[in-house]
Amino acid sequence: MPLEYIALMMVVAFFVLVLTGMPVAFAIAAVGFVFGFIGFDGWLFELLPSRIFGTITNYTLLAIPLFVFMGVMLDKTRVAERMLDVIGHAAGGLPGGMALAVILVGVLMGAATGIVGAAIVTLTLMALPTLLRRGYKKSVACGTICASGTLGQIIPPSLVLLVLADTMNLSVGSLFAAALIPGLMLAGLYVVYLLALAWWNSADVPAIDAEERAQVSTVQLLKDLVTSVLPPLALVLAVLGSIIGGIAAPTEAAAVGAVGAVVVAALMGRLERKTFIEAVMVSVRITAMVFFVLIASQVFALAFRGLDGEFLIEAMVDFVPGGPMGTLLFMMLLIFLLGFFLEWIQITFIVVPLFLPFLAGVPEFSMVWIAILIAMNLQTSFLTPPFGWSLIFMKGVAPKGITTAHIYKGAVPFVIIQIVALGLIILFPAITLWLPQAIGW
């Protein structure tokens, strides 16, 4: 049997195992080992130890546990919850103001955590009951929270950008700089949608009533903004600014961010021994999961390339019309469709490396631009039913009365907005490339 056929069977077997519910790391490794032995009796895996060693000793990837700890610490100490309350009152007099506060906190949490699960669960627990109590339409409230919680996948620093930088052999700083404007643009499009909704039907997104706003004086509100919003905002700006400005390497900035999160929590009086230990344990679990998938993907990649899988992809690319742009659009469509069923980390390690050899050879394509397109597309996968993780996380902690239909219906407008943002980045690459070029990355 030709090796390409075995490679095709390997891909099919992987999807079958994932759809049965097997954890992705075990599915990737199992398929890689089985088909590697079928094709080469196992001798191919003599190269595996050096590949795994190269992965776990990658200095850039050391930023992952540090950024994870930074985000988990701000989540567990309820710093983000306090930010939402304060910003919500500041914008409460405007129809849709509380929803706009959720978007703003989503931006800050995205920049501070980069962890979708933590952001969605936190925003759902602290914002959804409040929005419902204030008369927000259920689907609008659910969609706003889901969309806000996923902003951390495109707004740096994020795990998606860190992993893409490693997978595509790009500078983390250049990706962070390139993702900043698209991420803020996406948040801005969310705001425009909510303002339009408030103008069209303010009953769906009512303002906080005057009696509740009067309970917090202007002086107290300004004090709360300084004490509850400024410290985490300053931490985020310091971490991102040091990376994008070239002052510190991503790993160094991540270390400062991790320590800074502890300091911010302590200054706000929210640091406890139990909370600190819990943050450490959660960070270790998340980091172990990411690195386990990283190591398992080396098994799959080694076997797939050994089985001439690249020739299979080359034949598929030749079949796609439209030249390089057609190949790029085909990859975007494939990633979008796979996002209905697979997690971002599976798509990153399985699909993205298959197309890189062909897209990297196109002179008019910037790999940084392609990386941001992939990141934006992967973010959409968190909101697409039936397996969008943002939807699943929300359903797991949503109060009674919130159905799956409410969550799915609320997510649809924001999926459309993300597709529009993706289209704008494709049509206008300068949205992505201007900032990296301006600061000399």
* Per-residue pLDDT at 373 exceeds 90: yes
pLDDT at 315 over 90: no
Total number of domains constituting the chain: 1
Tokens, residue 17: 């195992």
The residue written with tokens 């890689």 in the block is 32
Q: What range does the domain containing 142 cover?
A: 3-438
pLDDT at 118: 60
Q: pLDDT for 24-60, tens place per residue?
A: 678 878 888 888 888 776 666 777 787 778 777 777 6
> Quick one: pLDDT at residue 214?
65
pLDDT tops 90 at residue 340: no
Question: How confident is the model over 233-283, as pLDDT tens digits?
Answer: 788 778 777 777 777 777 787 788 888 888 888 887 778 888 888 888 888
What band does 313 get if pLDDT is binned at 50, 70 and 90? low
162 pLDDT band (50/70/90 cuts)?
Answer: confident
Question: If you average pLDDT over residues 333-348, what whole number do you get?
Answer: 75
Cα(166)–Cα(172) distance, integer angstroms? 8
Q: Exposure string (b/e) for 260-280, b if CB count within 10 Å is 16 or more?
A: bbbebbeebebbeeebbeebe
Distance CA 441, CA 435 (A): 9
Task: Name the one residue in this structure whose structure tokens are 């962070």.
Answer: 176
pLDDT at 309: 67
Q: What pLDDT score does 422 carry? A: 93
Of 132-141, 195-204, 424-433, which has the strongest mean pLDDT? Answer: 424-433
CB within 8 A of 271, min separation 6: which ones? Answer: 77, 262, 265
**Highest mean pLDDT: which range of 41-45, 157-161, 413-417:** 413-417
Q: Write down the residue that tokens 């998606």 correspond to.
A: 160
Distance CA 319, CA 50 (A): 35
H/E stretch holding 74: helix 63-76
Compute the average pLDDT of residues 347-366.
Answer: 78
pLDDT at residue 293 greater than cutoff 70: yes
Q: What is the mean pLDDT of the chain?
A: 79
Is 425's pLDDT higher than 90? yes
Q: H-helix or E-strand containing 177? A: helix 172-200
Of 64-73, 405-414, 426-435, give the lowest mean pLDDT range.
64-73
Tens-digit pLDDT profile for residues 122-136: 677 667 877 787 788
